[in-house]
Amino acid sequence: MATAAPQPDGAADSRCLRTFSGHTNEKNFVGLSVNSTGEFLACGSETNAVYVYSSRLSKPLIVHNFGNPVDSIN
């Protein structure tokens, strides 16, 4: 996951400011949420965990594991 630099007109350009590490999203997008100030980001992981990041740091502040990931649902 990466964040982009804001432009004066409010649009984002394509420069990568930060890459967030720790979560696994190789096959599927699991989800992303950003708080109203843009200071915190939360995303799901294919490892059945949620990662919470500060927009200022590349490593997670909090990781919550929900247990074993589900390989398939029959």
Summarised one tens digit per residue, pLDDT across range 9-59 is 666 667 777 777 777 777 877 788 999 998 999 998 888 888 999 988 889
Q: Is residue 1 predicted with pLDDT exceeding 60?
A: no
Q: 48 exposed, middle or buried (CB, 10 Å; 0-12, 13-18, 19+)?
A: middle
- CA–CA distance, 25 with 48 (Å, rounded to integer): 11
**Per-residue exposure over 51-71, b if at least 16 CB sit within 10 Å of its own CB, e if not:** bebeeeeeebeeeeeeeeeee
Closest to 3 (Cα-Cα) out of 49, 36, 47, 34: 34
* Confidence at residue 17, expressed as pLDDT on a 0 to 100 scale: 73
pTM above 0.85, yes or no: no
